[in-house]
Structure 1
Amino acid sequence: MPFRPVTPEKLSAAVVRQIEELILRGILRPGERLPSERELAERLGVSRPSLRDAIGQLQETGLLSSRAGAGAYVADVLGSAFSPALLDLFGRHDEAVFDYLSFRRDLEGLAADRAARLGSDTDLKVVAAVFAKMEAAHAKRASDEEATLDAQFHMAIIEASHNVVMLHMMRSMYELLRGGVFYNRKVMFSQSTTRSTLLDQHRAINDALQARDAAGARTAVEAHLSFVETALRDQQMAQRHEGIALQRLDHETEG
């Protein structure tokens, strides 16, 4: 017969499974410090020896790391999807920049659709809370804070989509995402109306999500990132035209 005696699960195995799930779902993030051994054992309701056993197993699998005198941390298992040299190369070539925007438009459109359909009410409250901070930063004309919150807003949507592969892939690309957001905003802020336009676009995304309008949320995300792409192309063209105009001016004033 295929039956075997049922054995109770070790407490350390239950702790391992719980911490693994928190990392998988993106709740515990790379570099995040775990509570002290005493506090964590109390929260989990296990003995300190059982907790030490679990932490040891997670360190062996590479999910946790320890720092002398500082406790246990979630390991940087994600790293970066691209090397610094490749990131620099992307930033210097228009083709890669616009492919990146196209990739974001496709992926984040899908994430917004999923978030509207599958996100919990609490997920959508998180998105709304980040947007409220964006409005406050906009009122203060805090451009750097707005840019930081822009990235958080988009990541909150991806988190609300509840696709762990998408979540970890985008987390691993966070430097690229953040770099894209900061760069695009810095360029577009040279246009006086752009800050308000961007805020309105994020409001449209948030409104569609709160209404659980999946198609509307996807359309709003795609429209926003298409606007970013067009504004960036226009700015780059204006810079090229200015370069040519300066050459003409130099030529005319040489004589």
Structure 2
Amino acid sequence: MPFEPVQQEKLSHGVTRQIEGLILRGILRPGERLPSERELSERMNVSRPSLREALGDLQDRGLLTSKAGAGVYVADVLGSAFSPALVKLFSSHEKAVFDYINFRRDMEGLAAERAATMASDTDLKVINTIFEKMEAAHKKRNPDDEAHLDAHFHLAIIEASHNVIMLHMMRSMYELLREGVFYNRTIMFKQRMTRDTLLEQHCAINAALQDRDAAGARDAVATHLSFVEKALSDQQKADKNEAFARKRLDHETNP
């Protein structure tokens, strides 16, 4: 018969599974510090020895890391998504930039479609809260906060799609974007007219999601990333034209 004796689970195993789930779901993020040992044991209602056993297991498996005198952190598990050689290759070829945008358009369109139908009401409140922060940041002269919230907004949609593989894959892609591997995202927010257009597009994405309009959400994401693609293409052409203009100026002033 296909039955086995039921064994009571060790408390440390329960702690391990709970923290694993939080990392898998993206609730605990790379680089995030865990609460102190005392606070964590009280919250999880386990003894400190059981907690230490679980944390030790997670550290041995590379999911957590400890820093002397600073506590325990979620490991940078995204760092190994791409080899350094491949990252360098991405950063040195323009084709990678537009392939990256096309990839995002496909994946984020699918994520938005899924989120519109599968997200909980709380998921949608999270997305709307981030959008409201974007509206507030839009009023500031410095675009840095708005640029940061842009990535946060898109990742919230992916989180709301409830596909953990897509979540971690796209997080690794956004990490490369944060590091400026593909392009400097703050460039997109420097011009007021572009910032206004981007906010309108994010508003359209959010509105479709709040209405649970799957097709509308996917279309809004596609429209947004097509705009980003064109803006970057235009910027690259302008940069090249400026480089030639400087050469002409130098030739005229230093014959």
2:58 counterpart residue number: 58
RMSD after superposition: 2.3
- What's the secondary structure of 1:73's corresponding residue? strand
* Residue equivalent to 1:140: 140
Residue 133 and residue 254 in structure 1: after superposition, are their counterparts in 2 closer, same or farther (change >3 A)?
same
Residues 158, 254 of structure 1: alpha-carbon distance in 2 compared, 3 angstrom cutoff: same
**Which digits, 9 at most, give the CA deviation of each residue in 1:57-86, with x for residues without a partner?**
222222222222333222222215334554
Q: 2:199 is matched with which residue?
A: 199
Q: State the SS of the aligned residue for 1:79.
A: helix
Q: What is residue 234 of structure 1 aligned with on the other side?
A: 234
Report percent identity of matched pairs: 70
Ranges in structure 1 where 5+ consecutive residues have no aligned partner: none
Q: Aligned partners of 1:181 and 1:156: how far apart in 2?
A: 21
Task: Kindly indicate whether the alpha-carbon contact (under 8 Å) linking 1:82 and 1:173 is maintained by their aligned counterparts in 2.
Answer: no
Tell me the residue number matched to 1:214. 214
Aligned to 1:183: 184
In structure 1, the residue matched to 2:130 is 130
Q: Does structure 1 retain, via aligned residues, the 8 Å contact 2:65–2:72?
A: yes
Q: 1:134 to 1:2 in 2, by over 3 A?
A: closer
User: Take 1:245 and 1:64, find their aligned partners in 2: how far apart are those partners?
Assistant: 52
* Structure 2 residue runs without a partner (length 5+): none
Partner of 2:27: 27
For normalisation by structure 1, the TM-score amounts to 0.89
Aligned equivalents of 1:73, 1:119: Cα separation in 2: 28
What is the rounded CA distance, in whole Å, between the counterparts of 2:251 and 2:29 in structure 1? 57
Q: TM-score, normalization: structure 2?
A: 0.89
Q: Which amino acid aligns with 2:233?
A: R
Q: Distance in 2 between matches of 1:235 and 1:227?
A: 12
